[in-house]
Structures are given as structure tokens and as C-alpha cells.
Structure 1
Amino acid sequence: MTGVTLGFIPEPLSVPLDCLLPSRRHPANVCATGKFKKIESSIREVGLIEPLSVMPADKEVGQYVILDGHLRVLALKAIGQNDAECLIATDDETYTYNNRRNGLSTIQEHYMIRRVITRGASPERVAKALAMDVATIQRKLSILDGLCKEATELLANRQFSPEFARALKRMKPMRQVECVELMIAANKLTPRYAEALLVATPASGLIDGLKPKRMQGISAQQAVRMEREMSNLQTQYRLVEQTYGQDVLHLVLAKGYLDKVLKNKSAKQYLRQNHPDLLAEFEALVATIALDRQQIVAAA
């Protein structure tokens, strides 16, 4: 087995900021964005955590081209630093390791903040490092309080706000799981949607047994209808979930059969002459399933 070629020289090199050249143009207001402010606050409080990625120095002028870390360079200059730790790339490739990085989910961020504070950092310092106020840090620390284990597991890799969690916390565990599953299926984890589900939850599904105040713009009759429709939707969701695998198998088998029929010239000619409407439906069905398959493969 051949060894894996490293994309960067493992040992970082300290490079003067004046010797770093950007590889792209920054927007005029980049230093006013929230992302830049977070980076600047983090470097100011705890230093540069992640080295920059740069191309090897030009032999004539001694300049390094930045592959990844443009905002970090601007932040370092803003706080008065003169140099930065850099990883030197071994090939001419702008697709760096940082392109494979996924952002922290809300729950991962909660655990990170809780661990830092448990190890002795004050909420005030954490707030400064993340460019947040202390009240926001406190909300992130308590965001899982009142959420059941099953709902927490469903939300483990997703982003959601404290307001979203606050609506769920008023529900009993089983109802929390039902609502989270519905919102994930709809790909809509918003506070407004969570509040709507809370309003549509029967009193028996709430921790205190008290119905919440109606949402603005929703009458009592509309709320009752929401409860009824939500109950029907949950029933249908469970039925679909139970038969989904079998339905997909039947669909794939049917598609394979129709594909063979349409490739048979005699059968296709018969359908065209006697049942043109069925032929159009069959062709659309085969094309749709083929397209869905291509999208799934591309996404994987």
C-alpha cells in the first residue's frame, strides 16, 4: 500500500503579515460583519487557534499567497499582530482542509461552552471570545434543560435557537419527540413553527396542562382546527413511516418493469397507438424515478 501524500508541511511556520498576499478580494464592509467580529474577539481573547494555509513563498519576492484564512489575517492586523502561524501547502490547490469543515451544531456548541466554563473560564470571558453577550451564553448553557433525551438525539446535528427550544420545553417528552420529527421531516426548525405546534398541542400533551396563549393572528376556531389537522398529520406520518421501505421497493420494481416495457419496440408502439395517455404517464414515471436516483447519488 502506498503512503498518503500530505497536502501541507506538518510544522507551521511563522510568517510576517506583510509577506502574506490575498488570493481574493474582500467586500468593502467585511470588517463590520458578525463573522469577522467573532474571529477578531476569539483571537484577541485566546490567540490564533488555527494556522493559516498558504502557498510556498515566491523565490524572487518572498511573498506567500493565502489559500485559507483571509479574515484571520485582517483580524490579526486589526489587533496589532505582526506575524502569524502558517501551514505551507505542498501543491497548488485552493481546496483546503478547511473546506471540509462542518459548523458546530447548537448542541455541540452547548457542550463546548459548558466544558470551557466547567474548566474554569468565566461566562464573561467566553462571551468576549465568541463576540456574544453574557445573557446569550447563559441561554446556550441552559438550552437542553427540559428537553428529553430522545428529542435531544434527534436535534444533535442541527441548528436551532433558544426560542425554538423554549416552546418544546413546555411539552411532555412524547410530544416533544413527535413535534421534532415533524419539523425535521419538513426541514423547518424555526421558533414560529415550534410555537404553532405548541398552540396545536392538546392540554394533555403539555407539562403544566395549561394551553398557551393563542398566537397573534390565530382565532380560537383556527387553533381548534390546527389541533385536529395536526393530529391527522401525525397519524399519516406514522403510517407513511411504517410502509416507506416497502413502498420504495415496490416503486423500484415497478420502474424496472416499466423500463423494460418501454424498451420493447412492439409494446411501445402498441401503447402509442392504443393508449397514448398511459404511455405518457409511464414515460414520465420512469424519467422521474431516474432523476431522483441521480440526485440521491450526487448528494451522497
Structure 2
Amino acid sequence: MTTNSREKEVVAAFERELLTVRFDQIAPLYIVSPQKKASTKYKQIAASVCEIGLVEPIVVAPDKHEPNQYTLLDGHLRLEVLRDHGHAETQCLISTDDEAFTYNKRINRLATIQEHKMILRALSLGVPEERLASALNVNIKTIKDKRRLLDGICDEAAELLKDKQVALTSFQILKKMKPMRQIEAAQLMVAMNKFTINYARSLLAATPENMLVSAATPKEIKGISREQLDLMERESANLEREVRLVEDSYGADHLDLVLTRGYISKLMSSERVTRYLSLHHEEFLPAFEKITETEAFAS
């Protein structure tokens, strides 16, 4: 296949230019409930729109059957906020794909460290903290905490968490650990895909005291004895070793599983094979069917 033919197969996911669309031309996928309007997220979006306008355009896809009509893929809350502010139209990003049910899976939400860098950038350009707080619908203290987010966090741990949504309190907990332990804790968070405050606290509880910064308060966790803390430390060390072992073979194991699942799916698509299994190996049939259903769902 030539380079030119390959280039012709590449289709842009969105139109190059934004298009102004009236709200009566946009069909949402769901109604924004009064409970949703009372949520913190909705209030933050409303405050941001009121303070600095719409930052991220809503995403729509043209209706294949009705000209000049569009399906709303992303931005239901933003659209409702604009309506509440008296707007009747807005600029939209036009998607060339109408996969409404999978669109949100393709969006990378703003990570905590990315937000921290955006706040630093805004402050360096002279935006007052008060205006940032108003735009994000948070108090000044939260802006100050986000500004100082990486103070006391080593570069390696920050690099591991740069594209993750980690709670502010989790970063404050990591700051109680020495750099090497911060890296270990960040690696465990990524490996387990857990970035919650409670998980960060459990990692702190399992951290040996010689891996805590000198300013950190000695661990005294209510309801947990010194012996239990020692056990948690040992179990944490064992878990770290097991995670590294799994990481070493994860790629090959995952490839084997994908190939095996594909092979079983092909077998199950044959009526002769399913009939043979039902007659001679009935015990295998439910397991194979479950694997096939899982593959269909994942696709």
C-alpha cells in the first residue's frame, strides 16, 4: 500500500472550523435534572461561564436523517448553563463520528497536576487569585493549595501522577513521605488505578517511620496497634514486589489472553462446534459463552 493511499484513509474526527448552532437545532441525550443543577460541578461551570465565558465548546454530531439538526455528544451541563444565562446559540465543535455512547471514553479530563500548571500560568499572566477562585467556584484557600500542589513532591512522583486525577489531600499525604517512598506510593497508585484519599492514607500507614519526613507526625492511627502497623508495612513491601513481577509479564499475558479470547469467539460462532460441546463437553459451554459475551461487550 502506498503512502498516498494510507493518507487518504485518515479521516479527521472533527470539522476544522467551529459552527454557530441554535439550541433548538440540538437534541440532547438526556435532560439535566434539578439535582444535577444543584451539584458542585454545575455551579463551577456556571461560575466559569459567568466570569470568563465558555472555554470548551460543546460537541455535536450532524443528524443523518434531518438536515440542520444535531445530536449533543458532550457538554450537556454547559448547554444548560448557557440556556440559563439567556443564550439561544453557541459555537460548537462538529464531530464527524456520532458515537455518542463512547465519546466520553475518549475524553481526557483535566488532571490535578495539569490544573495546577494552568493555575500557575494564569497567575504568572497577572490573573488575580480572587478571579480564578470565582471562575472555578472555589474559595481562595483552594486556589492557594492548588498553586502549592507540588511543593514537597519529588519530580519522579509528579511525573508518574501528571495525567491522573488525584485528590488534593492525597498529595498532602504524599508530602509526609520521603522522595523514595513517594515514588513507591505513586507507582502503587498507578498500578492499582486507585488515587483516593483513603488509599493514600493506607499507603502512609504502611510506610516505615524511617521513610517519613522529619516534620511528619509519628504514625498514631486510632484502633491500630504497633504490631498491626508493622504487619501493614511488611504486606505493603510484599505487594510492591508482586506488582513489579506482574508488570514484567503483563504485556505478554495480555496478548495471550486477547488471542485466546478471539480464538474461542471464532469457535463459538460455529454451530457445529457449539453442538459438539453441548453433547460431549457440556461443562465447558457456559464458560466459553461467558468469554464470548465479555468480548462482545468490550468491543
Query: Which TM-score applies when normalising by structure 2?
Result: 0.70
Distance (Å, rounded) in 2 between the aligned partners of 1:243 and 1:73: 46
1:36 counterpart = 2:42? yes
1:23-63 superposed Cα distances (whole Å, 9 cap, x missing partner):
543334332122222221121111123334456699x9x97
Correspondence for 1:244 among 210, 230, 249: 249
Aligned to 2:193: 187
Correspondence for 2:175 among 169, 172, 175: 169
Contact 2:13 2:96 in 1 (8 A): yes
Query: Which TM-score applies when normalising by structure 1?
Result: 0.69
Contact 1:52 1:87 in 2 (8 A): yes
Aligned to 2:162: 156
Contact 1:54 1:64 in 2 (8 A): no
Aligned partner of residue 192 in structure 1, secondary structure: helix
Aligned partner of residue 126 in structure 2, secondary structure: coil
Mark the CA change 1:127 to 1:248 in structure 2 (over 3 Å): closer, same or farther: same
Structure 2: which 5+ runs fail to align? 265-282
Tell me the C-alpha RMSD between the 2 structures: 4.2
Aligned to 2:100: 95
Contact 1:11 1:87 in 2 (8 A): yes
Q: Which residue identity lines up with residue 118 of structure 2 in the other structure?
A: M
Structure 1: which 5+ runs fail to align? 260-279
Correspondence for 2:235 among 210, 225, 229: 229
Q: Which residue identity lines up with residue 95 of structure 1 in the other structure?
A: A
Distance (Å, rounded) in 2 between the aligned partners of 1:133 and 1:35: 14
**Offset of residue 130 of structure 1:** 1.6
Aligned to 2:205: 199
Identity %: 39
Correspondence for 1:67 among 66, 69, 72: 72
Contact 1:214 1:223 in 2 (8 A): no
Mark the CA change 1:27 to 1:222 in structure 2 (over 3 Å): closer, same or farther: same
Mark the CA change 1:47 to 1:97 in structure 2 (over 3 Å): closer, same or farther: farther
Distance (Å, rounded) in 2 between the aligned partners of 1:135 and 1:37: 18
Mark the CA change 1:4 to 1:188 in structure 2 (over 3 Å): closer, same or farther: closer
Mark the CA change 1:209 to 1:142 in structure 2 (over 3 Å): closer, same or farther: closer
Instruction: State which structure, 1 or 2, has the greater radius of gyration over its C-alpha atoms.
Output: 1
**Offset of residue 243 of structure 1:** 5.9
Contact 2:15 2:94 in 1 (8 A): yes
Distance (Å, rounded) in 1 between the aligned partners of 2:160 and 2:28: 41
**Offset of residue 191 of structure 1:** 2.1
Distance (Å, rounded) in 2 between the aligned partners of 1:86 and 1:242: 42
Aligned to 1:26: 32
Mark the CA change 1:16 to 1:215 in structure 2 (over 3 Å): closer, same or farther: same
Mark the CA change 1:232 to 1:65 in structure 2 (over 3 Å): closer, same or farther: closer
Contact 1:20 1:63 in 2 (8 A): no
Contact 2:61 2:95 in 1 (8 A): yes
